[in-house]
């Protein structure tokens, strides 16, 4: 593919790797947001769901590997980038946290009911 065409096609898109919002990673390992805002070991499926809920129209690429961890195929998503990348990452992390809490709540009620 022509390099110029690839850049034109991605000009309005932002690549988001799971490591960018992973609180178990250091900044050196690729985390891009503050530790207290990040989420522990986010999955690509969680990133996709969070991006959809934020209206970012994600385009997943599950077979890709982050350059720093080329052996680990975590995948990434391409999202529409109208805001700063850091704001998008913070929004995604908080939405993933919200999704996890909503999934834990029914399980916790079920466990409490059984006691």
Q: CA 11 from chain center: how many Å?
A: 19
The parent domain of residue 31 ranges over 3-113
The answer to whether 77 and 59 have CB atoms below 8 angstroms apart is yes
Q: How far is CA 32 from CA 17, 29, 55, 112, 113, in A?
A: 10, 9, 21, 37, 40
The answer to whether the predicted template modeling score (pTM) of the entire model surpasses 0.85 is: no
pLDDT band at 111 (very low <50, low <70, confident <90, very high): low
pLDDT band at 12 (very low <50, low <70, confident <90, very high): confident
Secondary structure tally for the chain: helices H, strands E = 3, 3
Q: How many domains does the chain have?
A: 1
Q: How far is CA 61 from CA 9, 39, 40, 87, 114, in A?
A: 15, 21, 21, 22, 41
Cα–Cα distance for residue pair 37/49, rounded to 1 Å: 18
Task: Kindly report the CATH number assigned to the domain that includes residue 30.
Answer: 3.30.56.30
pLDDT band at 47 (very low <50, low <70, confident <90, very high): very high
Answer whether residue 7 shows pLDDT above 80.
Answer: no
pLDDT band at 115 (very low <50, low <70, confident <90, very high): low
Mean pLDDT of 21-32: 96
């Amino acid at each position: 593919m022509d390099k110029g065409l690839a850049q034109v096609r991605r000009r309005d898109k932002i690549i988001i790797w799971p490591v960018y919002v992973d609180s178990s990673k250091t900044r050196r390992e690729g985390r891009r947001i503050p530790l207290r805002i990040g989420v522990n070991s986010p999955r690509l499926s969680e990133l996709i769901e969070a991006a959809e809920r934020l209206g970012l129209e994600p385009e997943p690429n599950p077979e890709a590997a982050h350059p720093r961890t080329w052996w680990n195929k975590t995948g990434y998503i391409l999202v529409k980038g109208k805001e700063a990348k850091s704001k998008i990452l913070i929004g995604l992390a908080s939405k993933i946290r919200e999704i996890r809490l909503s999934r834990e709540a029914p399980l916790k009620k079920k466990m409490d009911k059984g006691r």
